[in-house]
Structure 1
Amino acid sequence: MHKIYLSHNAIISSLGFDSETVVENIKNEISGISRIEDEDLFQKPFYGSIINKTILKHKFNALKTKEDHTVLEQLMILSLNKVIKASNITINTSVGLIISTTKGNIDVLEKNSDFPKSYTYLSRLGTVLKKHFSFKTEPIVVSNACVSGVLAISIAKRLIKESVHKHVFIVSGDLVSKFVLSGFNSFQALSDSECKPYSKDRTGINLGEAIASVLVTSDTNYLTEESVELIGDATCNDANHISGPSRSGEGLFRCVNSAMKEAAIKPQDIDYLSAHGTATIFNDDMEAIAFNRLGLQNVPLNSLKGYFGHTLGSSGLVETIVGMHSLKLNTLFYSKGFTSLGVSKPLHIIEKTKQQPLAIFLKTASGFGGANTALLLKSITYKNVKKRT
């Protein structure tokens, strides 16, 4: 059977326009979250993470595209372009594309938008990216709330395992928009300060925007220093509530348990847990309960939401890529914003960035509608890579 790898990658966020810069800032415990005053987005100041649009404009103009694109389309093109070029893969009928997002171009519904409302259809992103990069196959759009980025990796794995594609490119993204801010505000879920995942004094989420791209492949000719092998994955729905997670963590428990069974590993084999950690009252406690049921309470754990906020459909992919670099660097990153444990079960929160040997990490995500996902990823020896000109 094919082994599946995650390889070339690119993150665009408030912490930088490439993965290396983003990871270096996280390593130095620098956050991209700030107090934002923009009445076009929200009626009052809020804490969040916004990509620098001046830098975006400069970098995107350098591509010299002939068509007008929305901000999200520009970011996706810019991120995916970096990964496709770095991989040096020829786009043909063996290459697939998956796009993951929760809201897509939702900002075009705002009064000051220059784009038609039809651009809000998620299929628009598939049409744009297929045309720009001349993909020969039909793109798949994954929109399953905040697990979308992780779920896209699982789907890519299956497409390769079933020999539908040899390689799959994934691009994930969402923006901080008036629609999204008003929605989370209606849930009373927005924090009035920097978010504090798993902390006793947490008051809610910070919203952020980030775009991430990655190559999923079974071909060892296309690996990088930070490449990892996907050794197990699963998705489960707790069927509890449209926005509230199961209090027992049943869905998360089941999908992590399934992923561990596929990978044939035990809890003690996992070196690091990259959790969802939104800093809301119910999510964080649900995760703590599920992780204790799984025997993972002593595994070093962080939430990366304190660096970019909650980036919705891209959060799972962004955080997976950071985890890949964490394994490469043998470094556990501080769970930014953590103060003192405020959940009902014990967890081993990473309170300071530190180095230690790492081989396997678990990435989890949970989202509206009861969705839960888990990936188990393993570091590999970077000796099979063939240099290409």
Structure 2
Amino acid sequence: MDILLQEDSIISPLGFSTSENIKAIKAGVSGLHFHENSRFLNGGFYAGIVDKSLLAEHFSKIGDSSKFTKLEQMMLLSIQSVLNNNQLDLSETGLVISSTKGNVDLLGDSRNFSKDRASLISLAKIIQDFFGFKLQPIIVSNACVSGGLAVAIAKRFIQVGKFTDAIVVAGDLVTDFVTSGFQSFQALSATPCKPFSKNRDGISLGEAAAAILVSRRERKANNISLVGDATVNDANHISGPSRTGEGLYKSIQLALKEAKLAALEIDYLSAHGTATLFNDEMEAIAFNRAGLEHVPVNSFKGFYGHTLGASALIETILTKHSLLNNELYPSLNFEELGVSKPINIIDKLEKRELKIALKTASGFGGCNLAMILKKAF
């Protein structure tokens, strides 16, 4: 049974649709800008932040922005865009929601909203009620693999017959809670992040939302199938990745096994690529162990920053469109390779025939994810 990745939408500083986001990426436009804040080193930090006024303007077409938080508006807009282009019976459609922190900003300043709304259960209920989904929402919150893991979970529920269609939505914000946490690790970059580069010095944060329709029902001639996925926890450290890349390596091997593919059949690799010293090194080691050192690879973090629970879904959507468009998108801000093992970084936009791609993600607590996407035509 083919599980298809169909209609999608990305809401980010680069645009309020997937097409706007891809147009910005092809033009080399980054959503990262400096945001002044005296509480932080260097007087502020680089991040990709969605403009509130522009968001409210777009959201006013579907609801009253004063009744919904910023995160809720972003996630609801992304789902609405997917629903606009598909006739779905929401009484039978699954809803899978991914976020690492949800409305955590309400714990500091609840404004017109109850602090209870900070819970992920409340976020799920708001999304469910807004559209009228009847099935109980599934909540996925497993650090920074969450957005991709949500797609994999939707796939598995469809395979066992729980539903035929599922909407997967993911979102997270740049908040004081998150930025303070990464500053405590001394992991915030003083410049827009530089994944896999020799002079990288940490992450840039970002906020975004995305949604995608996962289905076993063909609706269009051109489809992308999710043919393999796996997640392995290396149990190395609460915030540090395995030095041998063990969890990511095993995830890749298991995903390839399910897909019945060999590493040499992978045409493109979308990495997690946070631009921290340890993450990028770990990924390079895992890719080499898996025999993927020659596969063109990029990170989208230079465009978006790290959008936490939304990152793996956004990057899965972009990987899908790379396959459909036969385009390799550059790893923005890359300079000189700064990892100990060779990898083939994409440094400019390139047209190339693509059939199969691998998307990886890793996160705190030792979680790792690998997903294999394949053209279904």
1:90 offset after TM fit, Å? Answer: 2.2
1:140 to 1:112, Cα distance in 2 relative to 1, 3 A:
closer
- Asked if the contact 1:7–1:224 (Cα under 8 Å) also holds between the matched residues in 2, the reply is no
Matched ranges for 1:134-213 at <5 A: 134-213=132-211
SS class of match (2:232): strand
Could you report, residue by residue, the CA deviation over 1:3-38 in whole angstroms, capped at 9, with x for unpaired residues? 100000000001000000101111122111111125
Could you report, residue by residue, the CA deviation over 1:249-288 in whole angstroms, capped at 9, with x for unpaired residues? 0000000000001111111100000000000000000000
Q: Distance in 2 between matches of 1:231 and 1:158?
A: 11
Counterpart check, 1:323 vs 2:319: yes
Taking every aligned residue pair, what percent have the same amino acid on both sides?
50
2:72 aligned partner: 73
Matched ranges for 1:19-168 at <5 A: 19-38=18-37, 44-65=43-64, 68-92=67-91, 94-111=92-109, 113-168=111-166
- Asked if the contact 2:187–2:203 (Cα under 8 Å) also holds between the matched residues in 1, the reply is yes
- Asked if the contact 2:59–2:65 (Cα under 8 Å) also holds between the matched residues in 1, the reply is no
CA RMSD of aligned residues (A): 1.5
SS class of match (2:370): strand
Could you report, residue by residue, the CA deviation over 1:130-156 in whole angstroms, capped at 9, with x for unpaired residues? 101111100011000000001001100
1:263 aligned partner: 259
SS class of match (2:243): coil
Counterpart check, 1:369 vs 2:354: no
Q: Distance in 2 between matches of 1:286 and 1:41?
A: 28
SS class of match (2:294): coil
Q: Distance in 1 between matches of 2:145 and 2:242?
A: 16
Q: Which runs of 5+ in 2 are unaligned?
A: none
2:5 aligned partner: 6
1:69 offset after TM fit, Å? Answer: 1.1
Aligned residue among 226, 240, 248 for 2:236: 240
Q: Distance in 2 between matches of 1:275 and 1:29?
A: 18
1:114 offset after TM fit, Å? Answer: 2.9
Matched ranges for 1:292-303 at <5 A: 292-303=288-299
Could you report, residue by residue, the CA deviation over 1:24-76 in whole angstroms, capped at 9, with x for unpaired residues? 11112211111112569999321010111111111111213497111111111
1:89 offset after TM fit, Å? Answer: 1.2
2:246 aligned partner: 250
Q: Distance in 1 between matches of 2:182 and 2:63?
A: 37
2:216 aligned partner: 218
Paired residue total: 377
Q: Distance in 1 between matches of 2:67 and 2:169?
A: 19
Counterpart check, 1:284 vs 2:283: no
Instruction: Give the residue type in structure 2 aligned to 1:147.
Output: V
TM-score (norm 2): 0.97
Q: Distance in 1 between matches of 2:110 and 2:66?
A: 20
2:307 aligned partner: 311
Q: Distance in 1 between matches of 2:102 and 2:293?
A: 36
Structure 1 runs of 4+ aligned residues shifted over 3 Å read 38-43, 64-67
SS class of match (1:87): coil
Q: Distance in 1 between matches of 2:336 and 2:69?
A: 41
Instruction: Give the residue type in structure 2 aligned to 1:316.
Output: A
1:224 to 1:313, Cα distance in 2 relative to 1, 3 A:
farther
Counterpart check, 1:350 vs 2:346: yes
TM-score (norm 1): 0.94
Q: Distance in 1 between matches of 2:65 and 2:280?
A: 45
Q: Distance in 1 between matches of 2:70 and 2:326?
A: 35
